[in-house]
Chain A
């Protein structure tokens, strides 16, 4: 169960109060009615699904109700930062794609030479 820092409530709260809301910083096209099918598919379906540093949206739905953004490592599931909705993508200082200190099971489990 994750522990998530809500930038509006300014404290760490249990994942039970939150709802994940997909990849962050995907803006709805302004003239959406006029974009091509490819552009629409890109906007609506295609995602980075990063292994490692990812930017995503959460909503503190059973708290302050606000949507906000988070930078998280999808291997360690560690949150690197959270910040309010509307802010541009925040750089995460000094973080490699995935944190090597963390054991994924495929790393622990024996190799098969």
Chain B
């Protein structure tokens, strides 16, 4: 477990080698092997660390290692006038949440690497190595993000993944749409990062530290801002802005659909499984802060559900297979934020994990389909592919069922948990969420129907019907790739993908099936393991009984001191002992302050009709409700699927008729609510206008000032030149002239006759002797 700092470094090493050496010299095989090997190593280490973590007591599952000091302490003034030492160690923190995250990142990352080996097969050697270098680099930054034990390290990862997503979306940089999408993603992320970094500043100026645990302790000892909008609310709101940027929530979700310009594995890894969940992870990481500002929680919940709903509605009518998945991702992220908003952090994280599995699975399947259709992404030209690529079909069906929430697949448990908590928290939100779930099931099954069922609508190909998979294996894959890269090319029709792609599909399918079983709710006589597992990460949080808070604090008090001692050991200066003192001082009052906090929260919860988290322990009152909700959600899922089946498989004309009937709505939806146009009209146009104005200002005023100063310099130099020429030189020449004229007289004395000079000497002698005589 003390080796966790090695987990990010392995992909970093791969990225370095591939990026520096590989791009020039490595063969495709070497590059792919290296990347996958580093990922495998990271995965192995993660598993090792995870199981080591499991061996610890449930409340002691926290481990911090600080191998290096990044920024040695520099004293800065805080908001309350005191001086805080701003010292940032390269600290890595392993607790249940980050453990889960690194498992997800490394595991799915590894699978996607393997998948990419086959998928990117058609690329040229250099581009191949470049792709894997980017991918490794992304994994490195993602791991930094999830493992960082303070905001700054996290921010490093945060920015790094943004950079990598830009690089990977714009991977086909010769395609204008791709590079534009990359820029769009980058810029939109910037807006979010702005909020995040401001939040960081505020956090430091308030708490005097950026260490997660210390911040959590300090915040835990603060009163809940149930009334009014306090500092914590501002902080959390700013952090949430960052989260919306990274996790594609309203209003910053627009970059995600365009990000589908990147290669499919990228979409799977970054835009489904890992990066987009960074926001969720960050909110969960700061659960204490959020739970101390109910307003923000409210906003988060509302934004989440709204995002989920809007994205789902847009997803209904999209025809691009990847875009459908993208919007479903957005909407699922909305679900997660909804969970966070209602305080169900564990549920949110749970859904994050399951979603990572099935959404990665879905993306990879869609990649396989596109691969089979030679780069064709429009579902209207697919259909009936079931018999062409059976593995893809089966795995994708599993993924669909999972996301639609059909038990016992993973999606069911996580989404149902969220819905249940939403129901407990707010009926309206719950209603919207249910409708969203219905639509989710509908558009996912619509996608399935249009892709695999029905009749084949794709372009004609040689030897339709007659086709052996064995003989058309590899060659077709490469052919399809040439098509994927160029858009056209010799193509022998849809065919199953090579092993390197199908095996990850199968693995992920298994994952999508079983991932949910770790979170079987008590209502189904399951012990919600994931909940208990993750709980310490959110402890000192609003939810949680007094004893839990206290125990959590008891659990973390030694950790804090240990971390402090580590800091002292690693960065040898007097301030290093500060976090230790803070931790101990924080933990000492924490025990009773938590009691108070919990009491308040209990009041707040009852007043907000939010039963305590301990409900699953205590109140069996909501058991019937929970079961009912489960049945309802299952019903909803099945309904959506059937409707979709009927619309798009049985009688497709119904869909068209509906489309004609609500043409306006249909147009609005298919144009994504004109949000991009709106942004173009407002933000982008405004930016352009202001930029142009600034340019004019620059050209006229700044350049004018520069030119004016230049002209002034010229004039002054000319003036000084005149002075020099006429005054100074005049003086010099005058002196010279005077001397010259005078010399006409005096140089007569220099006759060149030695005797005359001697005569002068003689005069001198005469004078001295005369003086001598006089003085006698």
A and B: bona fide binding partners? no
